[in-house]
Amino acid sequence: MMRAEVRDRIRKGVEDDSPRRPRTLSKSNPALVLHVDMDAFFAAIEERDNPSLKGKPVVVGGPKGSRGVVTTANYVAREYGVHAGMSIAEVERRCPDAIHVSTKGGKYSWVSVQLMAILRRYSPVVEPYSIDEAFLDATGCSHLFGGPEAYANQIKQAIHSELNLTASVGIGPSRIVAKMASGLEKPDGLTYVKPEDVGRIFGPMTVRTIPGVGPSTEISLNKLNIYTIDDLAQAPMSMLQKFMGKHGRDLAETIKGKSGAEIIAMEERAEDKSMGHEHTFHVDVTDLDMLLSRLLYLSEKATRRMRKAGYVGRVVTLKLRTHDFRTYDHQRKLDEWTDDPLKVYELAHELLNDLWRPGDKPIRLIGVSVSGLVRPDEHHGVQHNLFTAATHERRTRLLHAVDQMKDQYGEKVLGMAASLESLRKGW
C-alpha cells in the first residue's frame, strides 16, 4: 500500500477524526498554524530500531530487485539523489550500496498513533495530514508555552525524547505557509514565518512549490504570467477570479496568509470532495477476478473512511492504469447517496466492464473513489428507497457493527471474503 505515488499518498489515505472548531480571529488573536513533519519517517524508524544502519544509505520501499518504488529514503541515501517515488531499479543504479528495507506498514502506523497522541497534548485541534505529518491549531495557545517558537521547540523535544525521532516544524499564519515553512530547514528544523515575512521568504519560489498546486494549476497560473509566489501575491484578485474562479482567489489569499479560518475551510472542501483508495499491483494483472477482488477491497476501504467521517456519496469514479502507464478514469452517478461498500462496488464493477475486458492491456493500478459527498443531517436527509428500505436498516446495523470491530481491533480484523483473494502475497 505504501508504494502508491507519493502525492497520492499524501492526498489520500488520510485518517482524519479530529474535530475542527470554528474560531474567532481578531487582530490581537491572529491565526497561527503549526505543521509538524517527521524527518524521513520510515527510514528514521528503521534506523532507530536497528542502529547498525546509522550513517548508511537506507531505502525503505519495495524489496531489492522488485518493480517497486521508494517510499522513504534517509538523508544519506538522498545525497545520492535517491528520493521517494523513484523506482527501485533506479536506486540500484545510483546507489548500489543502499540498504533496502521493505515497508512495515503496521509498525509505522503505530508510531504515527503515538506521535498524534503527543501532539494532542499540545493543542485541542490536531489534524493528521498523513501518516507522518499533522497540522496543529496554535491560535491562542502558543503564549501558554512562551511564544510560537518555544511552543514548537517543546513539541520537538517531546517527540525526540518519547519517540527518539526528529521532526521539522513550520509555523505560519496559514496551513500552506506552515507546511512550506516546515520544509525549509529539514531535518530537525524549526521555521517561523510571520505574515509580513511570507513575501520575502517564499516570494521568489515558483508557484509549483505551493502544496496543492499541480501541473494543471501551474499552467493556468503561467498563462496569466504568474510564475513565482510573488507574482501570485501581487496579481489582482479580480483577474484571478475571472480566469481561475474561486480556486485562484483562494490560492492568493492563502499565500498571503490573509485568514487562517478561511484557509481551513478551503482545505476542508478540498479534502471532502472525494474519498477513495487505489492500489498498484506488484505484478501487472490480466485476471478479472483479481481486479474485482481488489475493487471490492478498495470499495470497502473508501466507504469505511466515508462512514468514519459521516459522509454519504453519489458519484463513483474508477481509475485504471495500464502497464504502459496510461491512466483512464470513468465515472457515473448512483441514483442514491450511499456509504455502503457493495453499492459502490456494484457501480465500480459496471465501470470496469465499460473500460476493460479480459484480454485487454494488463492493469498496473486500480482505484475507486466516491465524490458528491454530503453529511446527512436534518437538513440533508437521505432519500429512502421503496425496495431497499427494509434491508437498509439491517445493512446499516451490520456496517455499524463492522466499524465498531475495526475501531477496536484494527482495520484488518474482518472484511468481505471475496476481497481476500486480492490480498494474497505477491500481488
Show which residues are catalytic: 133
CB 337, min distance to other proteins, A: 8
Contacts with other proteins, residue ranges (CB under 8 A):
335-336, 346-347, 350, 374, 376-389
Distance CA 340, CA 323 (A): 31
> β-strand 327-338 against 126-130: which pairing, if any?
unpaired
* Contact criterion met (CB below 8 Å) for 38 and 128: no
CB 343, min distance to other proteins, A: 10
CB 354, min distance to other proteins, A: 11
Cell of 307: 462512514
* Contact criterion met (CB below 8 Å) for 57 and 80: yes
Supply the DSSP string of 28-78, one letter for each residue.
Answer: TB---EEEEEETTHHHHHHHHH-GGGTTS-EEEESPTTSS-BEEEE-HHHH
CB 42, min distance to other proteins, A: 40
* Contact criterion met (CB below 8 Å) for 291 and 319: no
CB 126, min distance to other proteins, A: 27
Distance CA 359, CA 285 (A): 11
Q: Which one, 70 or 347, has the nearer CB to other proteins?
A: 347
Q: Which one, 197 or 346, has the nearer CB to other proteins?
A: 346
Task: With residue 112 as reference, give the H or E element that holds it.
Answer: helix 105-122
DSSP state of 380: S
> β-strand 99-102 against 58-61: which pairing, if any?
parallel
Q: Which one, 67 or 332, has the nearer CB to other proteins?
A: 332
Sheet of strand 58-61, all strands in order from the earlier edge strand to the far edge: 70-73, 58-61, 99-102
Q: Which one, 327 or 385, has the nearer CB to other proteins?
A: 385
CB 247, min distance to other proteins, A: 19
Q: Which one, 119 or 347, has the nearer CB to other proteins?
A: 347
Q: Which one, 25 or 374, has the nearer CB to other proteins?
A: 374
337 Cβ contact list (under 8 Å, min separation 6): 312, 313, 314, 372, 374, 376, 382, 383
